[in-house]
Structures are given as structure tokens and as C-alpha cells.
Structure 1
Amino acid sequence: MTTEIQPFQIAIPQPDLDDLHARLTNARWAASVPGAGWERGVPVDYLKELAEYWRSGFDWRAQEKALNAYPQFVTEIDGQRIHFLHIRSARPDAKPLLITHGFPSSVAEFMTLIEPLVAPESDEDQAFHVIAPSLPGYGFSTPLAAQGWTLSRTARAWIELMRRLGYDRYGVHGGDVGSGVAGLVAGYAADHVTGVHVTTDPQTAANVATFLPGLADRLDATDPVDALALERMNAFRKEGSGYLAIQNSRPQTIGYGLVDSPILQLAWIAEKFELWTDLPIDRDQLLTTVSLFWFTGAGASAAHTLYDQFHSSDWGAPSPVPHGYAVFGADATVRKLVPAEQDAHWSEFERGQHFPAMECPDVLAADLRDFFGPLS
């Protein structure tokens, strides 16, 4: 690799596709128990049907072509290979916008969001030049070259990426892990960032809140809204945090299975898409993300970055730039769990949850335009 920015195209070798299909054909299936549902993990009948479609119906080459329709590049930053999409708008008034995906995701999350941002239907709507990097350890920002790729280190890499691209002023947006990265970019490069916009949903807010020291102590169990927030936090600790517990403590151990078994990698991601969404996501888009994890071995390397962040105390500093929050599947608990400045842009949407760029891209694009449009 080199610190120069080099064009990149996805080209998965045919033997890798053949190997995937063979592994899916010869998969060994865990037996279920009578009456078991999602509370015990991904139901076997659901996963068998999805795996068969991945093997015999899903057209990876078509998805590869669709991704390659967007200009892609690679460069080396801080010793790490970084892959990113860079789509420039034809509009002369377009503003640079850096967008970062989360877990378990990839830049494929933005395939239906990019067009509304780059080429909005109305000339009155703000347009953007979109820069969408793959997080270190995800997609083609692999393999990991070193330990220690925390949110803070990633944010500094994104700042360097924007400098290399020649952008002096830009907005930043993210969801899940990407929201943490976006906030840190704004904190470290406040002179260059026009604003930071993040997405969340009630369950994600509750999940994050469980790791914030003292937050639960500030909630009043006799208040109905606080009680619901506490209920969700407790449910996450008891029933929903297993995937993080293993990755935060033993990423290498789970990594063996994720890179050797396409069934495990499929279940690992499909479970979150099922539980963390309330609007339909195209099955091909889901499998595109799963395939990117499989072909690049990102299941293991992404787990290592989660481990690094869990063991890090570097969370950066608050940023003085304007903040925007888009809450999907909104209810009153998010206001209690997400500290927001009184003058922050705050939008609430009834539908959509953890993956709004895939669930309702037009809604997210409109909120990004509303927030960044007046900023300079």
C-alpha cells in the first residue's frame, strides 16, 4: 500500500465464490428444539431458507457491479489500508459530507442513500459530495495492520483522509459505531467541520447507555419513561449483549468461526438485521453486506476493533460545532438517554430503526439536507 490515493474496483475471484457455494451446500446445521423462536437465536428454518438463496439465488456479480458503479479508492493512513467511496455531485453548490457506517455493516449500507444525496430531485434541495469510508477491519479496509483501531484513531484517520482529498470544510454523519466516529471527527477537527449529524433509535440508545457509568443511577424507576429506559437497558444486559460480550473479550476465538463458516457469519449479521429493523430491507442488500464480511474476513477483524474500543479510555472531547440528531422509531426514552444541547437539531421519525440508510433512505437524506443545508 501507499499513502497515495489509488483507484479501486471490487473483483472477487471466482474460486472464492465457488468455495462459498460449496461450503453452503455442505453446511452442518444445528438442531433446534421444539417451539424455539428468535429468543434463542436465529430460527433454523429461517436461516436455511436465507442460506439457500445466498447459494443459488443471490447474484454476487450483480451486486459487485452495482458497488463498482460508485468511484472507489484505497490509501494507507497510519499504517492501515483504508477503502472508501467518493462520489462527487454535478451540482456546483454541493457540500462535502463524510458518512460512516456502523456494526454489523459496510459501505453497502449507503447504496440507496447516495443518489438522493448526490443528485436530489429538486434544485432547491441541498446536494452533497459523498465520502464513505469502510471502517478499519471492515470490508476492503482489511486486513488489520495493527491493534488499537479505536473510534478515536479512526476519527483521526478520517480527518487525514479528508485533508488528502482537499476538503477544508465538510459535514460528518454516522450511525452506531459511525456516530461515535463522527462525533470525534467534529471534536478533533472543529475548525474544519461544519456540523455533525448522527442517527439513533430507542434500543440502540438503551444499549449504549448500559456502558455509560452512572447513567442508570440518574433515572427514576417511578417515572414511566425512565422505567421503560431501565427496562430496555436491563433486557440488553440479560438477553441482547451476548454478541458484544464475546467480541469485546475474545475476538480471536469467535473470529475462527466467522471466517471459516459462512453459516455463522450469515446468522451473526442476519440476526441483527431482523431484530434491529422495523421496515423491510431488501434481501439482496442484506446479503451484499454479509458477502463483504465473508469475502474479506471482516467478521474477525471487526471483532478486534470492538475489543480495542471496549478496552480504551480515549473518547475524545466535546465539539463546539452544530449537532443534529435523527431518532428513528422514536419515543420519549431517547431524550433521557442521549444528551443533546438545547439548540441542537432534533428530528423524530416513527418508523425505521438501526439502519435508516437502508430502511428509509429518503427520510434520512431529507433530514441531512435540512440540517446541513443552512451550515457553512
Structure 2
Amino acid sequence: MPSAATTSVRILIGALTVIIGVTYKNYRDLSAPGKRPDLDSNEYWGPKLQGSYKENKAVLPYDISVAPELIADLKTQLDRPLKLQEPLEGVGFEYGFNANELQKVVKYWRESYLTKWNEHEQFLKKFKHFQTEIQGLKIHFIHVKPVKAEGKKVLPLLLLHGWPGSVREFYELLPLLTTGNDKSDYVFEVIAPSLPGYGWSQSASRPGFGAAQVSVVMRNLMLRLGFNKFLIQGGDWGSIIGSNLAALFPDNVLGYHSNMCGNSSPLANIRMLLSSFLPSFYIDSQYAHFYKGLGHLFKNLIMEEMGYAHIQATKPDTIGSALAHNPVGLAAYIFEKFSTWTNEEYKSLPDGGLTKRFSYDQLLDNIMVYYVTNSITTSVRLYAETMNSTQMGLNLESVHIHAPVGCARFLHELAHTPDSVLANKYRNLVHSTHYNEGGHFPAFEVPQQLYEDFASFVKKAFA
């Protein structure tokens, strides 16, 4: 008859075996690829129809000219006395957009920028604009073909912006992509669409049009233009939409590059948590200063920077209505992001550091895209349509992506995800870089660096 000690050892071994087995099964289940959802590639998102729908597949030049009376009305609104409160003593942007800086912005907008509106409008027209109908939505896009393609391979590129950006972010990057350099064998034919509900692209007329559905529209746009296989580059929403597209339509994606790679699958979230407590197991020590742990993430990102996302994910039409007919408020709301998202330390500066990396003209160009198209409300609806249980139920974050992937990290981005966390989703991560300058808007802020990183990724992807 076995002794009590022997029995206890057997029980302990049995319990450990069960625990190890359950743990292994749970890990295997968490790391297993998610099932690719079957989304309707022809789902109609336009206004309610009286009869059957027949898509107009014509691709036509699009005139982005602004009605003179709209500009005249904007001037009238900016001429009104500002009803601003004096900022607290010694405060920069810690409480949001500093009223003293806002007065400077409005004065420049009224007295300098708008007096030269014809020049700015011509600048926005420097690339060719087009429009076509996709799934009931009129989609606007810029199409730029290579100018120096001799001896180089031409690859199609879908270039995706986010919020509060627009296609204007890419005006400094586009010439680099379409001209190339002596170090690269590739040059790119670029399609840069306004996301549905942004700028000159029509918004969906009913609920349910989230980032997954936008990716379907973006893929259909590329197919419409004759590109069955193409590259993707994006940040912010462009990163999420591009990743979704690569997950949903692997046969169409040559490669995916992002300046905001992320992964929020269950296993990735566990690894992200562990990386805060055991960073040496998950993070390359030479880049440790990029990854600041959960405490910083909670304080600086969730508590200080994500209030806008909560509003836009729950009450988009309220904030949209407050901004749509209030150009000063619109400028304050959007300009603020180009301060703190470019470098969180800028919030301690009285001018928010806005002109350290951008000019007022650049920032106002972007504001004007929202203002003249009245698209602020429809743009922020994307948060409500994506940050919900239906979209999360698609489980796209767990769908493996096998196309070549490149991730560029610019130091002052709001948060970074280490390769060890990305690996469960991006199964072919061929390019991973870290840069000690730049923030959330690299195409706008450091276009040369972003171009060189993208070109380097493409070289690796097709080596």
C-alpha cells in the first residue's frame, strides 16, 4: 500500500499534468489562426434606393474646386470676435489648445492663408484627382504615376491616411514614391484615396460601415483601376484598414507596410502585458526607450489622449455638429492632435510646438479639406462603426497575414508594439525599424525618412 507521501506526489504530478495540458491547449487555441470572415464584396452602402442598384463603374476626373461663396462665408465667420478664455498662468497645451496660440492661428488663417486661397487651391490640385462609384459610394482618390520609371520595376501602391489627416498628408511623400532614388530598383504608381466619409469621398448612409467594410471598398477600388495585386502603406486608420485588407484578401496583397503596426488579438494582449513586467524577454534592449510599459500607456495614452476617441466612438454626431459650422473650433480640435501626437513633450509649450515640424499653411490645408467638404461628422463616425462588439466579433486581429510586412516605428508615436507581440499575426515580418525622431504623422513630418523606410521594406520583400 503506497504511503501518504507517495500518494501526495502522485496527486501533485497529476495536477501539474492537467495544468500543463490545459495551459498548452489554451495557448494553442489562442495562437491558432482566426477564421477569415466572409464579407460581402458587393454590399451596398449608398442612400436608400427606390429600385434596383446598378453600379456606375466609370472612373472620371474630379474637380475639387471650392465655391467662392463658401470661402467668403468662412472669411465672415473668422472676422467675428473670438470668445476665448485666457489660458491659466504657466499653462501650454496641458488643458488642450492654448487660447493665445488659437488667436494667432485664426489671425493667420484670416489675414494670410485665405487671402491667398487661389494659390492654396491650385496647390491641392497639383496631383490628378478622380472619382468612381464603389458599392454605392462615390470614392475620391489621387492617382500619381511614376515620372522616372526607366530601368525600374513599377509597383502599384494603395496609400491610406487616417484621422485627423487627409490625402493632404501625402503631398510631400508622393513625389518621392513616384520618382524613386538610385538606391532602389522600384518606383511606385500611387493610389491615395480619401477614406469613405473623409474629404471628397461619400459616407455610408446606414450603420455598420466599419474599418473591415472600408477595407472591402479599398480593395474594390484597386480592382476597378486594374490592380489585382498591390502594396499597402498606412498609419492610424490606414494601418487598421490596410491590415484588415491584407487579412481578408491575401491573394491581392503584395506586401503591407505601416508606421503604426499593432495587434490586439487575445494572445497579443497577453504578450503585451507580460512585456511590461518581463521586458527583456520581449523587447530588444537597444530599443527599450520606445516601449514605456503599461503605466505610461495608461497615464499618457488612455487617460490623457484617448478622450476624443471615446466621444467619437459613442457620440460622433454630437461632436461633429459642434465642429461642422464652427471653423475656429474645428481648427482647435484638429490642430491639437498635430501638437501632442507629434511629440507629447510639446504640450508643455505655449504654442504646442506646432511650427517645430509643420507650417501653418500645411496644417490649414488639412483643415480646409474637412471644412470645405463638411466631412468632420462623417469622418468621426468611423470610430463608432469600428469600436463596437460587431466589428470585434469579426476577430480580424487573429487572422494571420502571410504577405511580407514592414513596420516602421517613429519614437514619438503614441504607443509601439514590439515584434514579439506582432509575430502571432504578421507571420512574415521581414522589416522592423526604429527611428529616434518623428511621431504620428511621418508622411507629413519626415516624408524622406518614411519613403526610405518603405523602399527598404520593398527591397527586402522582393529579395
User: Structure 1-normalised TM-score?
Assistant: 0.90
Change (3 A) 1:342 1:304: closer
1:61 aligns with 2:118: yes
Cα drift, residue 161 of structure 1: 0.6
1:135-284 maps to which residues of 2 (within 5 A)? 135-200=195-260, 217-221=273-277, 228-235=292-299, 236-278=301-343, 280-284=357-361
Cα drift, residue 334 of structure 1: 3.7
For the pair shown, the structure with the greater C-alpha radius of gyration is 2
Change (3 A) 1:121 1:339: closer
CA offsets, 1:212-242, max 9 Å, x none? Answer: 8656643444769699321222122222111
1:363 aligns with 2:449: yes
1:180 aligns to what SS in structure 2?
Answer: helix
Number of the residue aligned with 1:80? 137
Question: Residue 339 of structure 1: which of 422, 425, 436 is its match?
Answer: 422
Number of the residue aligned with 1:132? 192
Structure 2 residue ranges without an equivalent (≥5): 1-54, 281-287, 344-355
1:96 aligns to what SS in structure 2?
Answer: strand
Number of the residue aligned with 2:107? 52
1:39 aligns to what SS in structure 2?
Answer: coil
Could you tell me the percent identity over the aligned residues?
29
Residue 333 of structure 2 aligns with an amino acid whose one-letter code is: W
RMSD over aligned Cα atoms? 2.7
CA offsets, 1:255-274, max 9 Å, x none? Answer: 11110100111011100001
Moved over 6 A (4+): none
Structure 2: how far apart are the matches of 1:137 and 1:343? Answer: 32
Cα drift, residue 28 of structure 1: 3.5
Structure 1: how far apart are the matches of 2:131 and 2:428? Answer: 39
Question: Residue 13 of structure 1: which of 67, 72, 89 is its match?
Answer: 67
Structure 2: how far apart are the matches of 1:16 and 1:4? Answer: 29
Structure 2: how far apart are the matches of 1:222 and 1:176? Answer: 28
Residue 156 of structure 2 aligns with an amino acid whose one-letter code is: P
2:304 aligns to what SS in structure 1?
Answer: helix
Contact 1:109 1:289 in 2 (8 A): yes
User: Structure 2-normalised TM-score?
Assistant: 0.74
Structure 1 residue ranges without an equivalent (≥5): none
Aligned length: 371
Structure 1: how far apart are the matches of 2:420 and 2:371? Answer: 34
Contact 1:148 1:305 in 2 (8 A): no
Question: Residue 329 of structure 1: which of 411, 419, 429 is its match?
Answer: 411
Question: Residue 437 of structure 2: which of 344, 351, 354 is its match?
Answer: 351
Structure 1: how far apart are the matches of 2:97 and 2:406? Answer: 35
Residue 58 of structure 2 aligns with an amino acid whose one-letter code is: E
2:131 aligns to what SS in structure 1?
Answer: strand
Contact 2:405 2:428 in 1 (8 A): no
1:354 aligns to what SS in structure 2?
Answer: coil
Structure 1: how far apart are the matches of 2:314 and 2:420? Answer: 25
Contact 2:198 2:375 in 1 (8 A): yes
Contact 2:86 2:100 in 1 (8 A): no
Q: Which moved more, 1:326-335 or 1:32-41?
A: 326-335
